Amino acid sequence: MSQIITGLHHVTALASDAQLNVDFYAGILGLRMVKKTINFDAPDVYHLYYGNEQGAPGTIMTFFPYHGIVQGCKGKGQLTVTSFSIPVNALDYWMKRLRKFNLNYTPPQERFAGEQFIYFEDNDGLGIELVANDQDLRPGFSHGQIPLEYAVKGFYGVSLAEDGFERTAGLLIDQMNHKLIAQKDDTYRFSASGLPGDFVDIIASPESSRGISGAGTVHHLAFATPSDHSQLEMREKLLGQFNVTPVLDRQYFHSIYFREPGGILFEVATHPPGFAVDEALAHLGEALKLPSWVEPQRESIEKGLVPIVLQPEKFMDQ
């Protein structure tokens, strides 16, 4: 029987400034902007997607940049760290690059055997890790400002801060095709594939404060499912235990949402149709794309959005 959940699809977070967001993720980190659109539930706000060259599930970091939004506070009941995968020999390169752009980072740390990482934060305080490893065979991407031999490959995994691990672990294992693959101290690692890109670490932290939503915090975590059919299977499994939404059309995937036992908003998103459904692969992210049902309001929507520009040349190594 095929898996209903195959791994991570995307992580969506809140930001305070659209241009600073573009500069950080497409400029400094070198991710590709694969889609520039709007928040379908708030058309006066961008929805910016970053990922690898194709915008593949497991590489997609997205943001709702609400200008002037208050700062959030990371804590229990939230996804607190998004980890990106880099080549095993790339840590020294990235520490030098972060210093160049005046970003503070932790010294290299080891969490599980052979897994070295550094931690830093974006302009809004969102928790980011770069994890060096030789298990990720995906190619990296950059706009040319970062040598491909050091480029980010996509997600490594995510960290969830929870009261305890048991109830969320039960959901992941019993209904979402995950297995417990590692444990150290209060950190429990789950995975659907066993490979970098879809690791879900639950950090049991009952003494910590609950998180507060705002800039620099994650809005939701999306898992990938292969098709509309498998998504409906997933929804059927969740009904009766979770308050799961109907299927929603997000233009580039179809989605259902529900709150997991620890309070984090989970989404299950389909692989198809993908980001090339409304623009050529070579030109992903270049134009403002709108769903058909708001296209008649394009003129007013464009007037309400602050222009943003992709400027990787500002973030060259030399």
Report if residue 51 sits inside a domain: no
Report if residue 170 sits inside a domain: yes
Report if residue 59 sits inside a domain: no
- Model pLDDT, residue 95: 98
Residue 280 predicted with pLDDT over 70: yes
Q: For 13-52, write each residue's pLDDT tens digit.
A: 999 999 999 999 999 999 999 999 999 989 999 999 999 9
- Structural domain range at position 141: 7-12+68-279
Percentage with pLDDT > 70 across the chain: 99
Q: For 91-147, write each residue's pLDDT tens digit.
A: 999 999 999 999 999 999 999 888 999 999 999 999 999 999 999 999 999 999 999
User: pLDDT averaged over the chain?
Assistant: 96
Res. 215 pLDDT band, cuts 50 70 90: very high
Report if residue 105 sits inside a domain: yes
- Model pLDDT, residue 318: 66
- Model pLDDT, residue 41: 87
Q: For 42-86, write each residue's pLDDT tens digit.
A: 999 999 999 999 999 999 999 999 999 999 999 999 999 999 999
DSSP the chain: ---S--EEEEEEEEES-HHHHHIIIIIIS--EEEEEEEETTEEEEEEEEEESTT--TTSEEEEEE-TTPPB-B--BTEEEEEEEEEETT-HHHHHHHHHHTT--BPPPEESSTT-EEEEEE-TT--EEEEEEES---S----SSSS-GGG---EEEEEEEEES-SHHHHHHHHHHS--EEEEEETTEEEEESSSSTT-EEEEEE-TTSPBPB-SBTSEEEEEEEESSHHHHHHHHHHHBTTB-PPPPEE-SSSEEEEEE-TTSPEEEEEES-S-GGGSS-GGGTTSSB---GGGGGGHHHHHHHSPP----GGGG---
In contact, 25 and 10? CB cutoff 8 Å: no
For 159-188, what is the mean pLDDT? 96
Report if residue 17 sits inside a domain: no
Report if residue 108 sits inside a domain: yes
Residue 317 predicted with pLDDT over 90: no
**Pairing between β-strand 78-87 and β-strand 127-133 as defined by DSSP bridges:** parallel
Report if residue 234 sits inside a domain: yes
Count structural domains, the chain. 1
Residue 271 predicted with pLDDT over 80: yes
CATH number, residue 211: 3.10.180.10
Report if residue 140 sits inside a domain: yes
Percentage with pLDDT > 90 across the chain: 96
Residue 1 predicted with pLDDT over 60: no
Res. 213 pLDDT band, cuts 50 70 90: very high
Residue 272 predicted with pLDDT over 90: yes
